[in-house]
Amino acid sequence: MTEAAVTEAELSAHPLVLVAHKLKIFVEFFGERGAYFILPLIIFTMVDVFGRKLTGSSFDAQLWLVENVSGMFKSTMLQEMEWHLHTVLFSMVLGYGFTRNRHVRVDLFRMHMQTKMQAAIELIGTMFFMIPYTIVVIYFCYIFAYDSFVTNEISASLVGMSHRWVIKAILGAGLIIALASGLAVWLQSILVVFAPKDLRFALMTLEWPEDMGGGVEGYERMVLADQETDMKKIGKGGKG
């Protein structure tokens, strides 16, 4: 039931299921849209790289863009725009990666545990580490962005970008979204550990016991022996 569509019956099974689902929708709304920032990031990077390389004694591509299109095509401006877009991309999808269970895990021990024990680890991890840490970072990020706004901070470069507080505020917004994802997973873990055993709903970072046979947290298992058998069958079919 991982990443499955949540039915009305599942949402009405327990109030916390509805809250966790709403938080997940909030996180994924921004994550799905934030992912599109990869496109302008690639474009600005390519323009910066090719603009600097396509130069010669009679033609300078980057200088032509600056003089005929926009001052935004100066190398310093392009490079700063690249890391600004990278910050937006990272901030918006940070929580999305967590609710979709796509962050890197070290599962040497956890992957061999049963669902309830995995949920207990998830509960402890979100409650004592992720959620408190994210709250602290949000607080300092607020000060970070506020000071930048009050002082009208600009780039350290004379030809760099202005309004540095905007990107710092976006970083803070991304952390708030990440906090929402942590709360969603925390609520999910509480239900798995303490709710009745027959309660079932779509999980985010866990799998129900009956779903653990064919995959690892949403990923289909690759059994090499089966792959070799299939290849032999294909080979025999080709010879025939």
Q: Given its phi and psi angles, is residue 202 left (phi above 0), alpha (psi -120 to 50 degrees) or beta?
A: beta
- pTM as predicted: 0.80
Q: Give the whole-angstrom CA distance, residue 206 versus residue 94.
A: 18
pLDDT bucket at 6, cuts 50 / 70 / 90: low
For the segment 151-185, what is each residue's pLDDT rounded down to a tens digit? 999 888 777 788 899 999 999 999 999 999 999 99
For the segment 82-128, what is each residue's pLDDT rounded down to a tens digit? 999 999 999 999 999 999 988 887 777 877 888 999 999 999 999 99
Contact 110, 216 (CB under 8 A): no
Q: From residue 231, how far is each of 223, 228, 236, 240 by CA, in Å?
A: 13, 5, 9, 14
User: Domain locations in the chain?
Assistant: 8-206
pLDDT bucket at 222, cuts 50 / 70 / 90: low
